[in-house]
Structure formats: structure tokens, C-alpha cells
Structure 1
Amino acid sequence: MAITVLAKIKAKQGSEAAVEAAFKDMIAKVRANEPGTQAYVLHKVEKDPTTYWFYEVYQDQASFDSHGKTEHMKELGGKLGAHLDGRPEVHIMNEIARK
């Protein structure tokens, strides 16, 4: 069954452009290199432009595990480190049923 991830990321005020550029690069790399990723969607909170949410869906546990070990995931950490206001809040959910 699919694995869904909701990740809340808070950027330091003034770092929004750097964070968004890093995320857009990451999205392109995920699309090009991770066929087991069914959705990798970035959102910005309307009333708080420093808060972002990722909605991610992986076809299975192996795809999710592989995502975390990619070179582009490691690179993302290096790009974001100085621009984040705290650690991301990550919720991992296991799909139970689907229509």
C-alpha cells in the first residue's frame, strides 16, 4: 500500500526565495529520478508565507525508503540548513483503503 507524507517546513523570514528555489530543484529531481513517487507537491500557507507543506505519496515502502537515500535528498539538506526556522515536522501515514 501507498505511503503518504505530510511535511511542514518553516523558513526563516527573508529566506523564502532560497527555500522555494531549493524545493523547486528537488521537485524536478524527484520527477526525473523516482518513478515510485506518485505525488510530490509543494504548498505555501496563504496567511504565513514562511510556512510550507509538502504532500508526498510513494507507491510503497521501498519507494519511500529509496527517496530518503537519494543524493538529491542529501543535497537538499545542505541547501536548506541555514534557511530553516527549526526542524521540519513530518507525518508519515500508511494507506489503509482507497476508493
Structure 2
Amino acid sequence: MIVLVATMKAKPGKETELENILTSVMPKVELEQGTLQYVLHRSQQDAGKFLFYEKYVDKAALDFHGSTPYLQELFKAIAGLLAEKPTIDLYEEVAGISK
């Protein structure tokens, strides 16, 4: 299993617009076979900071997700809304609890 954590920061005044664009892809991502979790979070300390927690069955599923036309469109749409380049980190799941 592969976990991707992405953080991004909106330009001042662009927080709502960024959030709307980020959530707009949820229905399409939900249909992806190898995507197990795709969760968007907003910082409690900074309303312009967002974190995606994503879980994929394998690298092929992650690669598929990254190559979809709707994700490519999302990247173009958010480029002018970001205060800085997003950070993207990949993790391997070691242990966890699900309820």
C-alpha cells in the first residue's frame, strides 16, 4: 500500500476557491479502482492550508490517479491560487487502526 500526503497553501483571499476546486474532483476519484482513501483536510490554525491524505493499493493505482485528465485539469486550475509549491510525500503504511 502507498500513502501520499500533499499539503498546499492558498494565496490570501483564495482559500474558498481553492477548496472548491480541490473538492470538485472527489466524485471522479471515488470511481478509481485502486484508490482506497482520498481525504481533504483544512488546517485549524490556518484556513488557507490544506492537506490531502491519499491511500492507494499500489504504485500502478497512484500512477493512474496522477495521469487522469481531471487531475491534470485540477493542477492547471489551482496553479494561480497557490501561495507556494505544494509538498508531496510518499509513505509506506506500517501499522494502523480502522474503525
Q: Matched residue of 1:87: which SS? A: coil
Counterpart of 1:55 in structure 2 is 53
Give the drift of 1:97.
5.2
Q: What is the TM-score normalised by the length of structure 1?
A: 0.91
Aligned alpha-carbon RMSD (Å)? 1.3
Counterpart of 1:78 in structure 2 is 76
Q: Which amino acid aligns with 2:52?
A: F
Q: Matched residue of 2:25: which SS? A: helix
User: Are positions 1:23 and 2:22 aligned together?
Assistant: yes
- Count residues in correspondence: 97
Give the drift of 1:96.
4.1
User: Are positions 1:95 and 2:73 aligned together?
Assistant: no
Q: Matched residue of 1:67: which SS? A: helix
- Structure 2 alignment gaps of length 5 or more: none
| Residues in 2 aligned to 1:79 and 1:22: alpha-carbon distance in whole angstroms | 8
| Divergent runs of 4+, >6 A | none
Of residues 50, 56, 65 in structure 1, which corresponds to 2:63? Answer: 65
Q: What percentage of residue pairs aligned between the two structures are identical?
A: 35
Give the drift of 1:98.
6.0
- Structure 1 alignment gaps of length 5 or more: none
Q: Matched residue of 2:47: which SS? A: coil
| Residues in 1 aligned to 2:8 and 2:25: alpha-carbon distance in whole angstroms | 14
